[in-house]
Amino acid sequence: MSQTISPLLHPDELVKLQHNPDVVLIDARAGANAEENYKKQHLKGARYVNLNQDLATVADDPANGGRHPLPSFKKFTAVLSNLGISPTSHVIVYDDKNGSNAAARFWWMLRAIGHEKIQVLNGGLQAALQIDYPISSGTENFEVTAPYPISEWKLAQATIDEVEIARNSSKSIVIDVRDKNRFDGLTEPLDLIAGHIPGAINIPFSENLDQNGFYKTHEVLAEKYKPFFNNHKPENSIVHCGSGVTACHTLLALDYAGIPIPKLYVGSWSEWSRNDRELFTIDTK
């Protein structure tokens, strides 16, 4: 899928759009106190979206779909309606982790239902505050919209069985975007087992950012990623992380670099490591 606007928006550009009635600003911070922090302070006009409640259907057993499986179309339709988002909305989303929390995940989900006018705020909340973007507290008043028409996910996803095939294929690459210590099995703060999918390569999502927390330029990202796809078509490639959230950070970086968006393995390591699949751990070195 092609996109007519950049997937990233600089804070200075947000300033110019702040009074545009078509703009819907979304705060996608995640974590235990995210909603409380939103109510204490957020960018003026921003509406809050909850990763666990709105952008996933968290199941009791992560072995079935991982820690953040996608919601049903019915649920996501209701989420978008309750946020006041329609097919004509210009959605701009931010978090406080340079897009690696839920901002990029929300971007991917909207792109995946065919919504074109969706951008992630480059540099996130911190960058907007640094230029004195107006802030607010409490909640925002806005009108809900009619149910958003959703019929299919239009961006490709990979199942656990497809990952099994791809990791053993010379025509595919499986990219793990978690940090190197997690990939190497030295630490695992969220899942039961530390390690990675054998055959996967590690390109930490943090390498998409410069020293100031902004995405690197599309030229730099293209130079970084295009060699990986010289012999592997993006559509045959799979990107994953721990639970299908930060993987979207790299999918956005690839889109920004002009590379077709690969498949997202939503279940990621949280599903793979719970399903009696082959694992690379410290013990298997």
Residues recognised as catalytic: 241
Q: Count the neighbouring beta carbons within 10 Å of the beta carbon of residue 282.
A: 10
66's tokens: 């991982």
| Cβ within 8 Å of residue 154, ≥6 positions away | 1, 111, 112, 113, 114
150-178: b or e for each residue (b if 16 or more CB lie within 10 Å)?
beebebbebebebbbebbeeeebbbbbbb
C-alpha distances in Å from residue 125, one per residue of 2, 5, 22, 104: 27, 21, 21, 14
Q: Count the neighbouring beta carbons within 10 Å of the beta carbon of residue 198.
A: 14
